[in-house]
Amino acid sequence: MKKYGVIGHPIGHTLSPFIHARLMQLSGVEGEYAVYDITPEDLAGEFSSALSQLDGFNATIPHKQAVMRLADELDETAELYGSVNTIKFTKNEDGTVHSKGYTTDGIGFTMALENAGIDMGKTVTIAGCGGVGRVFANTCVSRGCKVNLLECRSAIDGAIMFAETLNSRFGEGTAAVFVTEDFHGESDLFINATPVGMFPNTDACVVGDDVISASGAVFDAVYNPSETLLVKKARLRDIKAITGMTMLVYQAAAAQTIWNGSQFNAEDIEKLAEDCFLNLKK
């Protein structure tokens, strides 16, 4: 019996156990998947004790960058993106445990866009420069896009440092930084990589109507509710818009591939995403 889980804080209702149970069933893997609410202060201790007894785990807010420093080894993509959402533990012959960190958010993101028929275009605006925001930014610029990085005023210094890294790596002018409330530009694709609009704060929207109207398409990483206010506003303007549910399922499938070598077809992923929306309403 394989043992997996997801860590976060706070972490209340999460779809990860539902998703991974279905994925393991589809691939014939006998396993269980638990939820661990771990504070940032307790992460290091739990990593070397309880978590290391698992075969692997997923990490969500606020642990995606912190677990990088705890893993013995990082996958090339995780190291490049500066974010880890999947850890695989391997037991060595001498009884010690080796941990390797990966990020599957980029795979989930690109597959979700492809599934919805959304093109990144040439200019992408990303609200939020946390772990998943950095994955989105790196994924977009690696495909030739220019990115506008939006961040709240209190966290703008971190966004500036991240932009400098992107400009150094991909060329000057690749990334520009704005305080979120001061941005009023156009984008081929607008991405919300913040928790703004997530249940129960469903009446919140990360940007104003002018930014939404000036976007060719919208991707909201938030998946609960099934239609965020951002997505609703975009669709009312006939702008193609999706939430992060399909991305969530695709990145979970990629984690199962890392852990067990499992492979899944698009039809099963789409059906699972639909069932996840129904599960949210229960």
Active site residues: 64
Read off the amino acid at residue 100: K
Q: Distance (Å, rounded) from C-alpha 55 to C-alpha 58?
A: 11
Render 124-143 in DSSP notation, one character per residue: EEEE--SHHHHHHHHHHHTT
Tokens of 157: 């210094």
Q: Rounded to a whole number, what is the largest CA-CA distance in the chain?
A: 61
Q: Distance (Å, rounded) from C-alpha 248 to C-alpha 241?
A: 16
